[in-house]
Amino acid sequence: MRCLLCESWSWSHICNTCRQDQLTPSFYTRTITGKLSVHSFYKYDEIEPLLLTKHTDLGFHIYRILAKTAFGMYAKRFETDEPVAVISVDDHARHGYSHTALLARAMKREQLLPRFGMLRDRSGHRYSGKDFQFRLTHPRQFELKPFPEKRVILVDDILTTGLTLTQAVECLEMAGKEVLFCLTLAEADHQF
Residues forming the site for Zn ion (CB under 5 A): 3, 5-6, 15, 18
CA–CA dist 182, 192 (Å, integer): 21
Nearer to Zn ion, 23 or 182 (CB): 23
Smallest gap from residue 23 Cβ to Zn ion (A)? 10
Q: Are 75 and 108 in contact (CB under 8 A)?
A: yes
Integer angstrom CA distances of residue 111 from 108, 149, 188: 8, 10, 30
Integer angstrom CA distances of residue 159 from 89, 149, 153: 12, 25, 15
Smallest gap from residue 9 Cβ to Zn ion (A)? 9
Nearer to Zn ion, 46 or 173 (CB): 46
Nearer to Zn ion, 6 or 163 (CB): 6
Smallest gap from residue 15 Cβ to Zn ion (A)? 3
Burial class (CB in 10 A: 0-12, 13-18, 19+), 42: buried
Nearer to Zn ion, 19 or 105 (CB): 19
DSSP 54: G
Smallest gap from residue 2 Cβ to Zn ion (A)? 8
Please list, in sequence order, all residues whose beta carbon lies within 8 angstroms of the beta carbon of residue 173, skipping any fewer than 6 positions away.
Answer: 179
